[in-house]
Structure 1
Amino acid sequence: MNKTITKDLKVLLLNPFPQRISPHVEFLKEESERWIREEYSSLSPSFVKMMMRLNGASWAAHCWPDASLSVLTSITRALLWGIAQDDYYAPLQGDELSKVTYRMMEIAMGTIPEPEENPIIHQFSIFMREFENIATEDWMKRYVYDISQYLEGIEIDSSISYRKNINYPTINEYIPIRRKNVAMATVNDKIELVTGILPDYIVVHPFIQQARILAGDLFAWSNDLISLEKEMRDDEAMNLVLVIQNERKCSIEDAFDEAVQMYNSRVECFMDLYNDIPDFGIYTPVVKKFLEGQGLWISGYLNWFEETNRYKTSDQLI
């Protein structure tokens, strides 16, 4: 099993997108490590250590290489929050997690957190207010909605995962849930902050919606392949490989290979879209940049995986 799981994903997964990194990466590493040390310091030492191992600044720098320093700083804070939100709150159950979701949505709508509240809530408030200064009102409304879908996905995942006797969803059930809890809708939104904000009537066009869905599946499924060992240890259900294995009643090796094939098929679908962009009038160049930004993000995530210690075991860190 270990031999299969640790296959070289950069060889197995199609990646026709360029590899680039922001020139601001070193500054952001210093800045983000300072945030973690100072602003997350009230959380447990083990949680702070996990956040340090993440190397979120490198993730942001790989995925948004063309972002200005101010935009990339806010995006980096948002990425760190997403990991913290998922790792800290997702294992909660039922009403307890619903209360967190409700509070986060209050913050998203402009409520200022109390000084004694969890630093994860404070971090959310900081970058939401920063985005208000960067983006348009329509973009913010869309982003708040996409945040709500992400939090809903965490709640659904929590009702299935983090238990020894997992009742896995089917593949068809898994896909829409995973599209929510992977938060790629919010990532697509943030790509627009770099490539150009699209008006709502363009965003709802079937072509853009399909591009957003495909990019979301590519993020979710690459993450599932990358994090398989970690998620097996953590008793998580929302992993494509484990869902395939449960539904097909096959070996983990065969499930892994099928997940790789599904990923590569999605890449081909995405490239078909990219090579056949319809006429969006004056927004055609912006749409093209948006899809290019999605490609950079997908490639950047795979490249960041080689740098982060998030998914490595203690033996691999020696």
Structure 2
Amino acid sequence: MQYIMKPEEYNSGDYLPLNYYPWPNLVNPHIEQMGKDMDTWIDNDYTFLTEIQKIRYKKMRLHACTACMWPHLTYDQVIPCNRFMLQYVVLDDQIEHSSPQEIEHLRMRCTAILRGEQPTPQENALYRHMALLRDEFKAFMPGIWMERFIDYFYITIRYGIELEHPYKVANRPPSLALFKVLREYNVLMLPYLTFGEIESGLILPEHIIEHPVVKRMITLLVRIIAWQNDIHSLPKELAKGTEIFNLVLVLQQEYQLSLEDASAEALRIHNEDLAELLALHKEYREFGEYQAHVDQFLYYSGIGIQGVNTFYLQETERYKHGGTGFAWPDAASKNSLI
């Protein structure tokens, strides 16, 4: 008789254990102060959250994700990165039941604020903190970097969150082929990749960003983090019962696989993308004077991949079995969100 894994027996560390990746596993020395900062923002600024949601966001230790992903940032550099970590995670979590019109408004308003508009006194912390981190980034980053950060923020909402909405409403996953395209955007990682350029101090010029090899490497970086997230977040999503944007669940649906077989296949896809990323970087060395920029971009992005894996395994309660560590959207607070 064939053994069938039960959902409560699933352990993401069996697939992606600590130090799985070929990059250093480090932590920012300012992690303790970063935690104090984030708890203060949650308590004093994120007033639209319920008390239960506030407690759960604190237990998620999202500042530790920032600290593990970008260990070389100075304290002044890490403040807006940490601020954005909380802002973007809360945004993504709490608009789960928002309408397409509400999500579009949030996208347009946040983008306008990033481009220079000021939030109104009536707008909540999602908008006010966007203005704060904009000014903090502009104090030490050039305009070309800021434009890329804004563009990546815009497209992850426009082609990530917004395009997944019809599937969530219908409670029907897309095909695996389409899912792989959409997941690159709705994992929301593109803006975070630019933080590696802060660490290195080497800003990729536009003609390098648009190079097909670099574009492919960026796609692979984002997909690796997406598959990593799907493997580690599965215990929470199995509890919800209505989650459809997870590689393991899509594989189960498309190929009628068991949980164990689908998890193994998800890891195979993850490893295939990781191998392609490393192979491309090793083989293509034709960036001339910008080769060091590309090397450093991949190095610091790799530390980010290693760091977020450590965060999942050691730092957070966000993805606990049964969904007990997640700050589920609350209907009572929805009206004050957008």
Answer yes or no: same fold by TM over 0.5.
Answer: yes
1:139 aligned residue: 145
* Aligned equivalent of 1:166, options 168, 171, 180: 171
Residue 314 to residue 239, structure 1, CA distance change in 2 (3 Å):
closer
2:269 aligned residue: 262
User: Aligned partners of 2:165 and 2:110: how far apart in 1?
Assistant: 17
1:87 aligned residue: 93
- Give 1:224 deviation, angstroms: 0.6
Tell me, yes or no, if the aligned pair for 1:185 and 1:216 is still in contact at 8 Å.
yes
Please give the secondary structure, in 2, of the residue aligned with 1:116. Answer: coil
1:243 aligned residue: 250
2:47 aligned residue: 41
User: Aligned partners of 1:110 and 1:284: how far apart in 2?
Assistant: 33
User: Aligned partners of 2:164 and 2:322: how far apart in 1?
Assistant: 26
2:333 aligned residue: none
- Give 1:141 deviation, angstroms: 1.6
* Aligned equivalent of 1:288, options 295, 316, 322: 295
* Residue identity in the other structure for 1:179: E
Q: How does 1:217-232 map to 2 (within 5 A)?
A: 217-232=223-238
Aligned length: 315
CA displacement 1:26-65 (0-9 Å, x = unmatched) = 1211111111111113421122123212212111111111
CA displacement 1:240-272 (0-9 Å, x = unmatched) = 111111111222221111001111111111221
User: Aligned partners of 1:315 and 1:127: how far apart in 2?
Assistant: 30
Tell me, yes or no, if the aligned pair for 1:90 and 1:155 is still in contact at 8 Å.
no
User: Aligned partners of 2:70 and 2:301: how far apart in 1?
Assistant: 9
User: Aligned partners of 2:236 and 2:323: how far apart in 1?
Assistant: 13
Tell me, yes or no, if the aligned pair for 1:105 and 1:148 is still in contact at 8 Å.
yes
- Give 1:181 deviation, angstroms: 1.3
* Aligned equivalent of 2:65, options 24, 45, 59: 59
Tell me, yes or no, if the aligned pair for 1:58 and 1:304 is still in contact at 8 Å.
yes
TM-score (norm 1): 0.92
Tell me, yes or no, if the aligned pair for 1:211 and 1:273 is still in contact at 8 Å.
yes
User: Aligned partners of 2:272 and 2:20: how far apart in 1?
Assistant: 9
Residue 32 to residue 201, structure 1, CA distance change in 2 (3 Å):
same
1:119 aligned residue: 125
User: Aligned partners of 1:19 and 1:90: how far apart in 2?
Assistant: 33
1:308 aligned residue: 316
User: Aligned partners of 1:88 and 1:7: how far apart in 2?
Assistant: 25
Q: State the structure with bigger RCO (CA 8 A, min sep 6), 1 or 2.
A: 2
Identical aligned residues as a percent: 27
The question of 1:176 aligning with 2:181 is answered: yes
User: Aligned partners of 1:176 and 1:197: how far apart in 2?
Assistant: 27
* Residue identity in the other structure for 1:294: S
CA displacement 1:179-218 (0-9 Å, x = unmatched) = 1111221122221121221111111112211211111001
Please give the secondary structure, in 1, of the residue aligned with 2:315. Answer: coil
Tell me, yes or no, if the aligned pair for 1:168 and 1:237 is still in contact at 8 Å.
yes
1:156 aligned residue: 163
Residue 315 to residue 250, structure 1, CA distance change in 2 (3 Å):
closer
* Residue identity in the other structure for 2:315: E
* Aligned equivalent of 1:204, options 186, 210, 235: 210
Residue 90 to residue 314, structure 1, CA distance change in 2 (3 Å):
closer
User: Aligned partners of 1:111 and 1:99: how far apart in 2?
Assistant: 14
User: Aligned partners of 2:324 and 2:180: how far apart in 1?
Assistant: 31
Residue 114 to residue 282, structure 1, CA distance change in 2 (3 Å):
same
User: Aligned partners of 1:150 and 1:59: how far apart in 2?
Assistant: 19
CA displacement 1:262-285 (0-9 Å, x = unmatched) = 111111112213323413222222
Residue 253 to residue 44, structure 1, CA distance change in 2 (3 Å):
same
* Residue identity in the other structure for 1:205: H
* Residue identity in the other structure for 2:190: A
Residue 315 to residue 44, structure 1, CA distance change in 2 (3 Å):
closer
Please give the secondary structure, in 2, of the residue aligned with 1:134. Answer: coil
Point out where structure 2 has 5 or more consecutive residues left out of the alignment: 1-5, 326-338
Residue 223 to residue 157, structure 1, CA distance change in 2 (3 Å):
same
User: Aligned partners of 2:271 and 2:76: how far apart in 1?
Assistant: 34
* Residue identity in the other structure for 1:194: E
* Residue identity in the other structure for 1:59: C
* Aligned equivalent of 1:252, options 247, 254, 259: 259
Tell me, yes or no, if the aligned pair for 1:63 and 1:298 is still in contact at 8 Å.
yes
